[in-house]
């Protein structure tokens, strides 16, 4: 389950406080609606390539398991 995209996602770090940014950037970054809808408004097309969809055991999500409720399996999409 170690796709290169997962490595990039795990490397993300979040700010405790939102830095001062241009209002247009804040509007984009803090959008609470569908990002797909936002891209479509910008004239962009969004597509998704499904890599895997299945139940996985805790051993398959070892790095994330501390963040999840205790279960015997998890639905992975």
Residue 59 shares a structural domain with residue 75? yes
Number of domains within the chain: 2
Is residue 6 assigned to a domain? no
Determine contact, residues 72/57, Cβ cutoff 8 Å: yes
Tell me which residue of 50, 53, 31, 54 sits closest to 41, measured CA to CA: 31
Residue 55 shares a structural domain with residue 72? yes
The HSE-up count of residue 70 (CA atoms within 13 Å, CB side) is 0
Domain that holds residue 22: 17-46
Residue 61 shares a structural domain with residue 75? yes
pTM for the complete prediction?
A: 0.41
- Sign (positive or negative) of CA dihedral 65, 70, 71, 77: negative
Is residue 12 assigned to a domain? no
pLDDT in tens, 25-74: 888 777 777 778 888 888 888 888 888 899 999 999 888 888 888 999 98
Write down the pLDDT at residue 2. Answer: 60
């Amino acid at each position: 389950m170690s796709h290169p995209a997962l490595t990039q996602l795990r490397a993300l770090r979040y700010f405790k406080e939102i830095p001062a940014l241009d209002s247009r950037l804040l509007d984009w970054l803090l959008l609470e609606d569908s990002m797909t809808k936002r891209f479509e408004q910008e004239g962009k097309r969004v597509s998704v390539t499904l890599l895997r969809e299945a139940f996985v055991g805790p051993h398959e999500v070892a790095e994330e398991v501390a963040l999840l409720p205790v279960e015997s399996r998890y639905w992975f999409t």
